[in-house]
Amino acid sequence: MMSHATLLTRDVEVAAALVRQGELVAFPTETVYGLGADAFNPEAVRKIFEAKGRPLDNPLIVHIAEPAQLAALVQEVPETAQRFIDRFFPGPLTLVLPRHPAVPDEVTAGLPTVGVRMPRHPMAQAFLRACGIPVAAPSANRSGRPSPTRWEAVYADLNGRIACILQGDRSDMGLESTVVDCTGAEPLVLRAGAVPLEALQAVVPQTRLATPDDVRQARSPGTRYRHYAPQAQVILVDTPQAAQPHPQHAYIGLASPTHPEAFGLCCVCPDVATYAYELFDFFRRSDAAGCKRIYAQRVPRIGLGLALMDRLERAAAK
């Protein structure tokens, strides 16, 4: 494990050179910051798990600069996957496809599939082009902690554990990519995310949400362990009146509590998209403020609300 301070830079060429040398680099995407390694270097990929404290049976997503890189990663691109690529690449969508034999087991957790995404974030695109190779990258945080939407959050979690942080702006979505398995007769949404189910169904109508009974569920990161959790206890409420005001309590939701000033922190969001954008950053600010409880208002499971509720429920899990 590294012990010297992590390099901070805005130079994508410097960061890309480190990846090609087998080092770890955190980089911004439109969803959250990712922690990248050369996807074809097993030793480098193992460093991701060590730096994060991540279970080895949790597969990674491979990030590409252009669709042409798919040929080195997957055996085939099913017709449904191609329709999603045409509509959503680049963007916050990960497709689970039959893996190419050259992809290391460390990336896929030994599964016969690999998740692939092409981010649309300008700095991420420039970085991936400079790397010239596919980059395996989960979120750039200690495992189980809230995903980082700012480089400062990456630094707080991983300084001294990784080689470099590419300093971009705050992520503009705040929730991870949607993960869709395209290896079966019907596409399965394994992890709800920044691309809503309804948008996917507009492209491939038979797309559905995976259930706990679907054996393909384990092919997605972020579905098997307690995730996205702050140190504070997360309590879900239907209305802000159910939240108990206290200087060591925080509240986030769409409606305002009667006495917002009575909370240590309070974030009232105008819509679900803003709620999703603020969530992980609010979790981290609540911890920094020493809050013991975070009350989070539930939202309807439609559109982005499906992904938001997934993250809230995982954060609140015992």
**Residues annotated within a binding site:** 31, 54, 58, 63, 113, 117, 137, 139, 147, 177, 191, 228
The answer for 91, left when phi > 0, alpha when psi is -120 to 50, beta otherwise, is left
The pair of structure tokens assigned to 296 is: 């989070």
The pair of structure tokens assigned to 187 is: 């596409």
Q: Comparing C-alpha atoms, which of 215, 214, 300 is closest to residue 253?
A: 300
Residues making up the annotated binding site for L-threonine are: 31, 117, 137, 177
How many angstroms separate the CA atoms of 145 and 58, rounded? 15
How many angstroms separate the CA atoms of 54 and 90, rounded? 27
- Identify the three-state secondary structure at position 207: coil
> E strands, 39-127, where?
61-63, 93-98, 113-117
SS3 content of the chain, % helix, strand, coil (to 5): 35, 20, 45
DSSP at 28: -
Residues making up the annotated binding site for ATP are: 54, 58, 63, 113, 139, 147, 191, 228
Omega prior to 146 cis, within 30 of 0 = no
- Looking at residue 151, its amino acid is W
Q: Which residues contact 35 (CB under 8 A, 6 or more apart)?
A: 24, 25, 26, 48, 51, 52, 137, 138, 139, 140, 141, 154, 158, 162
Up-side HSE of residue 252: CA atoms within 13 Å toward CB?
24
How many angstroms separate the CA atoms of 255 and 258, rounded? 9
